[in-house]
Amino acid sequence: MIELVHLEKKYENSTPLKDVSTIINDGDVISVIGPSGTGKSTLLRCINMLERPTGGQILLDGVDITAPGYDVTQARRRMGMVFQSFNLFGHLTVIENLMAAPVDILGRTKQEAYETGVELLKRVGLEGREFRYPDQLSGGQKQRVAIARTLAMDPEIILLDEPTSALDPAMVGEVQSVIRDLAGSGKTMMIVTHEMSFARAICNRVFFMDQGGIYEDGTPDQIFDSPERELTRRFVRKLRVLELFIENAKYDYISADKEIDIYCLKNNIPARTKYRIRLTMEEIVQQLLLPQGDILPVRILVEYSGEEEKTTVTISYSGAGFDPADGENKLAYDTLKKTVADISYKYDSEAELPNSVTVLI
């Protein structure tokens, strides 16, 4: 069991981990997901003490491994680490990579280490490659050797830091199947990954990381199907969001238009969709809402999901209940209605901006 207590990692210019507290139970298979730069790798490297935390504690079965006098090699022997860049020992053959640590650290005989090594190579599908040097292997093979090297130490916990990110797409599958096999073996595992469907398939728990810590922690079904928090939802749906505010009637239409342009360009949004987003702006905001008066401020939220290629524009505004469908300019409303998939209106007196029109493009 690993217990993180107010863990903090601060660098000179950034603080990837502000305050992380959680418990990792034996047998947990945890996927760590989240946008880049949110401390996913840092969390893993702290647990393995490759990065020394600047605050808080890490308790491994109740023992604080961050304590000053503690011999971290003891903790590291119980944890295996698989790196994004493999880090196989370049001067040793495949079999020696597997034998080195058991012989040097666990005091196994060469014979024992060799036999375990051959066994593990078979397990990761690399029998017969014993005498290759790492630079004679493909990326996928290297990563499989690296996993076998970790297993040779028989660790209780395996930490995988983006194990497939440096691989050709064609090789991702072979490594994933080895990891999948491993996930079923009952060992505690933590894997940092960007492969959502893979993460979902192998784990029983997901850490979504953002804002300097574990932003949401739950089962894969919770996190991927019904996330509770906004940033998680945006992330798992792969939502790209643009938010615009209009605070007075003479707002800068040109620059708002430009922002939409940049947003579409950045997120590879098709030209047709871009045209429809603009049309929504033009018809609802310019033609229907602004002439109405007394509706400021207006908030425009554009959400584009790359996964589903779905775009919604939500326009919220204040004032008394007003459905644009009842507006004077029928022509504008009908033009838009014909172009987009759906327009719906909702009035919620509790909300800050009670009116909201949702346009599904």
Partner 1 sequence: MPRKKAFILIIAAVITAVLFCACTKAAEQISSLSQLREKGTVIAVSTNTPESKQIIKDFPDAVIESYTDIYPAYQEVASGKITAVISQRTGMQKAIENGVSGVRLLEENYRENVIAVGLSRKSDIPDLKRKINKFLQELRDDGTLDDMYERWVMQKDYTMPDIPEAEAPKQTLTVATTGTAEPFTFYVGNELSGYDIELAKRFAAWLGARLEFKVYDWGGLLSATQAGDADCIMSNLYYEPEYEETTDFSDPLFTLEITAMVRDKGYGAKTDPFWQSLRSSFRRTFITEKRWRLFVSGIGTTLLITGMSILLGTLLGFAVFTACRKGNRTANAVTRFSVWLVQGMPAVVLLMLLYYVVFGSVKIPGVAVAIIGFTLICGASVYERMKAGVSAVDIGQTEAAYSLGYTERQAFYKVVLPQAMPFIIPPFKGDITALLKGTSVVGYIAVQDLTKMADIVRSRTYEAFFPLIAVAVIYLILEVLFNFIVDRLEPAFYPKRRDPDDILKGVQQK
Question: How far separated are the first and last CA of the chain, in Å rounded?
Answer: 48
Q: How far is the CB of 285 from partner 1 (least distance, A)?
A: 53
Task: By CB under 8 A, tell whether 90 contacts partner 1.
Answer: yes
Q: Rule CB under 8 A: which of 105-134 touch partner 1?
A: 105, 110-111, 114-115, 118, 131, 133
Q: How far is the CB of 135 from partner 1 (least distance, A)?
A: 9
The span of 8-16, 144-152, 253-261, 272-280 binding partner 1 (CB under 8 A) equals 144-152
Task: By CB under 8 A, tell whether 197 contacts partner 1.
Answer: no
Which residue number, 28 or 112, has a Cβ lying nearer to partner 1?
112
Residues 155, 282: Cα–Cα separation, whole Å: 61
Q: Rule CB under 8 A: which of 37-66 touch partner 1?
A: 48, 50
Task: By CB under 8 A, tell whether 11 contacts partner 1.
Answer: no
Q: How far is the CB of 159 from partner 1 (least distance, A)?
A: 8
Task: By CB under 8 A, tell whether 149 contacts partner 1.
Answer: yes
**188-192 and 355-360 strand pairing:** unpaired
Q: How far is the CB of 30 from partner 1 (least distance, A)?
A: 18
Task: By CB under 8 A, tell whether 68 contacts partner 1.
Answer: no
Which residue number, 96 or 210, has a Cβ lying nearer to partner 1?
96
Q: How far is CA 127 from CA 119, 144, 145, in A?
A: 8, 11, 11
Q: Residue 29 corresponds to which tokens in the numbers above?
A: 């298979």
H helical segments located in 166-229 = 169-183, 196-202, 220-225
Q: Supply the DSSP string of 46-63, one letter for each residue.
A: HHTTSS--SEEEEEETTE
Q: Are 176 and 198 in contact (CB under 8 A)?
A: yes
Nearest of 335, 207, 215 to residue 283 by alpha carbon? 335
Task: By CB under 8 A, tell whether 104 contacts partner 1.
Answer: yes
The span of 52-60, 76-84, 269-277, 337-345 binding partner 1 (CB under 8 A) equals 76-84
Task: By CB under 8 A, tell whether 73 contacts partner 1.
Answer: yes
Which residue number, 81 or 340, has a Cβ lying nearer to partner 1?
81
Residues 142, 328: Cα–Cα separation, whole Å: 68
Task: By CB under 8 A, tell whether 80 contacts partner 1.
Answer: yes
Q: Give long-range contacts, CB 8 A cutoff, 24+ apart: 111-120.
A: 113/152, 116/152, 117/148, 117/152, 120/148, 120/151, 120/152
Task: By CB under 8 A, tell whether 296 contacts partner 1.
Answer: no
Q: How far is the CB of 77 from partner 1 (least distance, A)?
A: 4
Query: What's the number of CA atoms in the CB half-sphere (13 Å) around residue 239?
Result: 17
Nearest of 263, 267, 245 to residue 317 by alpha carbon? 245
Contacts of 263 (CB under 8 A, 6+ apart): 240, 242, 269, 302
Q: Are 118 and 152 in contact (CB under 8 A)?
A: no
Task: By CB under 8 A, tell whether 268 contacts partner 1.
Answer: no
Which residue number, 35 or 90, has a Cβ lying nearer to partner 1?
90
Q: How far is the CB of 211 from partner 1 (least distance, A)?
A: 27
Query: CB burial class (10 A; 0-12, 13-18, 19+) of residue 76?
Result: middle
Q: Are 202 and 180 in contact (CB under 8 A)?
A: yes
Which residue number, 115 or 308, has a Cβ lying nearer to partner 1?
115
Instruction: Work out which of 93, 273, 339, 356 binds partner 1, going by CB under 8 A.
Output: 93
For 214, the enclosing helix (H) or strand (E) is: strand 213-218
Task: By CB under 8 A, tell whether 349 contacts partner 1.
Answer: no
Task: By CB under 8 A, tell whether 94 contacts partner 1.
Answer: no
Q: How far is the CB of 48 from partner 1 (least distance, A)?
A: 6
Task: By CB under 8 A, tell whether 301 contacts partner 1.
Answer: no
Which residues of the chain form contacts with partner 1 (CB under 8 A)? 48, 50, 73-74, 76-77, 79-81, 83, 85, 87-93, 95-96, 100-101, 104-105, 110-111, 114-115, 118, 131, 133, 146, 149-150, 153
